[in-house]
Structure 1
Amino acid sequence: MGRMESIWGKDCDQFYPERWIDETSGGFRGEIPYKFPVFHAGPRMCIGEEMAYIQMKSIAAAVLERFVVEVPRKERPEILLSVTLRMRRGLFARIHERS
């Protein structure tokens, strides 16, 4: 569902973070939870969703502050369906310390 053209549009394969920015206010515009139900929605909502987002943002900020991350765009990652959403063979990247 994360890359379905019928849900996200023609540019569903591209990393395009601007799609979640409201053009009028410039703030974050979230999608309805049923559009991408990784954390589910409704009565079965994941109780750890907020904590997962806080951890993800803090780790990403710490890494991006200290390092330059280059991800080669050779192929589209293959997703493994499991309890947690993972990529087959991981995500290969080159990481350089900022000078």
Structure 2
Amino acid sequence: MGRLASIWGEDCMEYRPERWLDDGGVFRPASPFRFTVFHAGPRMCLGKEMAYVQMKSIVANVLEEFVVDVVKDDVAAGGVPEHVLSITLRMKGGLPVKIRRKPEA
């Protein structure tokens, strides 16, 4: 299906990345249903959800054993972290922290 002229056009065997651009040069994605090998969407890792569960479990276990302190001397604006607006909310200049083991109870 990836090389069928009836789906992709007569130049289906040529490497032409510009086929995905409109007249103004802006990316124009094809319908995900056009190539059924992708299951009507982008490929997804089958183990992705399990990896997220494992990641959260490990972080929870680590946070049980350690204390995370923000290093206020290194943070701008008088010890208050400054956010950077983006898709993923992050800190300007990072967030310096010190990690120490929790005392035995």
TM-score, normalised by the number of residues in structure 1: 0.39
Larger radius of gyration: 2
TM-score, normalised by the number of residues in structure 2: 0.37
